[in-house]
Amino acid sequence: MAADLSGISDAIGPIFAELNSAGGAILVAFVERPIGDRYRHGRPTHRVLKRAPDSSLGPTWAVERRAYQMSEVVDAYLVAGGRYHDFDFARLELLKLLAEHSALRVVVGSDYADTDAISACSFLVTYTCDLRPSEGQQGALAHFVQSGGRWLALHSTNVVFDVGSDGTVASSRVIDPFVRTVGSRFVDHPPIRRFRVERAESDHPLVFGLDAFETDDELYVNEYPDRAGLIPLLTAEFAGDVAGVLGPGLQPGTQLVSYLRPLGDGAVLFNSLGHCRGHYDMRPHVDYYPTVERCSWGLPVYQELLRRGIRWGLRAL
């Protein structure tokens, strides 16, 4: 099946079409672009003229994006490291998605120590847990975003633990520059369970066309130092019916599963989904963890969210 673009007049401005095959359905979205920047910090100004349904991923899965050709190398930095997660799995999966863009060159690290290399890039991707940057590294990360960098912060990037004098582990209560840059501070999450994820801003290109979906994952309860400064993308409801893994007292309410955090000339895109753990990732507390956990990683919609996040980081969405 081919799309006939002959009937579209040049007078309405630049027209872009995306054809995507999913579940046997051909998806078409024709978009009229205004003169000037399409959006600032991810705020769209597009208008959908036509779209075709997709039978497998929802009635309006029609993703339109700016036609582009990467004629120059784009430098990115991937940080994957910390505790209690299968970082080998996450690192490999993210590198495979990043490798779909032939002009993208990726440096890989396990922490934020090489701030010079991070600053030399335009795109930062992180999948971490309990990886607390030093004061200098926090300043470098804030400067990276404020000066125009884009940061795709995944899952437990916003998780930092404090260990009490009695050996108990709790989420850090410190609202430091790192938290303000990322846009949220992890509080706790209930045990892995099934929950429904809803689209919060239907016309945003990062989530446009996505129907609500269910996943078995960790539902993060976060605090936000500047909630009004965030652009909600995906939400989920927590009923407050169970205790968190770190203790009781979680408050019910709407949780931001994904949001955009504009900051200066750049932005942070946060998505809390995507927990993963293997047999040996809870050491030294547990020598052999009995269950391999992959949660949302196997869902086509999560893979699509990651692909859109990468295109956003490349300024190609």
Burial 225-263 (b: 16+ CB within 10 A, else e): eeeeebbbbbbbebeeeeebebeeebeeeebbbbbbbbb
Q: Tell me the pTM.
A: 0.80
| CB contact at 8 A, 279 and 176 | no
pLDDT tens readout for residues 83-136: 999 999 999 999 999 999 999 999 999 999 999 999 999 999 999 999 999 999
What would the two tokens of residue 98 be?
């990043």
> Where is mean pLDDT largest: 29-38, 71-80, 102-111?
102-111
Per residue in 252-285, pLDDT tens?
999 999 999 999 999 999 999 999 999 999 999 8
pLDDT at 71: 63
Q: CA 49 to CA 236: how far, in whole Å? A: 30
Domain boundaries, the chain: 7-67, 75-313
| CA 204/CA 196 separation, integer angstroms | 19
Fold of 75-313: Rossmann fold (3.40.50)
Instruction: Give the full edge-to-edge strand order of the sheet including 15-22.
Output: 15-22, 25-32, 47-51
Q: What is the pLDDT of residue 248?
A: 81
Using CA atoms, how far residue 81 sits from 50, 84, 183, 273, 306, in Å, is 43, 10, 20, 17, 18
- Between residues 201 and 235, the one the model is more confident about: 235
What is the DSSP code (8-state) at residue 11? G
Express each pLDDT in 139-160 by its tens digit.
Answer: 999 999 999 999 999 999 999 9
Mean pLDDT computed over 39-52: 35
Tell me the two tokens of residue 95. 């590198």
| 194 or 60: which leads in pLDDT | 194
Distance CA 111, CA 290 (A): 28
